[in-house]
Amino acid sequence: MNAARRAVCVMTHQRADEVAPVLARLIAAARANAIELRFDANETRKHGLQPDEDGIIVVDAEPRDDVELCIVLGGDGTILRGLRCFEGTSVPVFSVNFGEVGFLATIEPDELDEYGFERAFAGDFDVLLLPAIVFRSGGGGAQHKAFNDISCHRKIGGRVAQLSYGVQCEEVGSVRCDGLVVCTPAGSTGYNLANGGPVLAWGVEGFGVSFIAPHSLTARALVVAPADTLTVSNCGREAIDVNVDGRPVCEISPGEDIHAAFEPRAASLAQLPGSSFYKRLRAKFGRLAS
């Protein structure tokens, strides 16, 4: 292997057969540009990859931040995995959408003819610095980071939750509900939007709070300033489950709380040159409504 060779990390979703033609196209483009493609053990096994003689395909490679790009073939879940993997580095995530919505995706598969992998290798894209939400439990538990959202919700079959929430140690309210969602601007078009919460344009500094099935006529969504800390307390009699970007991570016991804060510039997302949030919003959700 040439130590000076440029390297790219590759991540794909679970439907290997669906991405196989585009993966073959990526490998061909990498070979033509002498780009090393690194696949971790899961990707290697999923696609039945073998190392080749010219060292373009590197198998069982643990992700490292010495790559110049992470290419994702998948939906928002796989893109979030790439963002988590390279958070805090300068490695941008460039994604081809194979998901249902793919709001975070850089391009659609049918745009590859116009915007191929060669342009991605050349760095012909803009980079959006995405914020995150960092939280830990009040008892000093493990720290977690969300690029989309944190969702606190009652257990299946459990009682309705009683959640109080406050900002900078000032209680804002207490709501009987099925749960609560704290979202970044990038995640505001997901669970938060389904709750009737506000859509936050990319570039907005701050994070949103919305409620899942509130048992109240007065519960309102909230946008928290970027320098403020949000506290969510479980005032009910049963534990509350907590998911980060759709993955279960912990629970909040009765009487406990979590503290969430805004972290700017946590990861890098590649976008087509001149792309805008509003164009993406119209294209993704206008298409779904038609």
Residues annotated as catalytic are 76
User: Which tokens is 90 given?
Assistant: 């300068």
Q: Could you give the 3-state DSSP secondary structure of residue 134? A: strand
Measure the CA–CA gap between 190 and 182, rounded to whole angstroms.
Answer: 11
In degrees, rounded to 5, the angle at the alpha carbon of residue 209 between the alpha carbons of residues 256 and 156 is: 55
247-252 and 240-244 beta bridge pairing: antiparallel
The answer to whether 88 and 112 have CB atoms below 8 angstroms apart is: no
- Segments of 99-246 assigned E as strands: 126-137, 144-146, 149-154, 161-167, 170-177, 179-183, 207-212, 222-224, 230-234, 240-244
CA atoms of 103 and 97, how far apart (whole Å): 9
b/e per residue, 137-175, with b = 16+ CB within 10 A? beeeeeebbbbbbbbbbbeeeeebbbbbbbeeeeeeeeb
Whole-angstrom Cα distance, residue 277 to residue 281? 6
Work out the angle at residue 93's Cα, subtended by the Cα atoms of residues 90 and 95, and round it to the nearest 5 degrees: 165
Q: Report the 10 Å Cβ neighbour count for 279.
A: 11
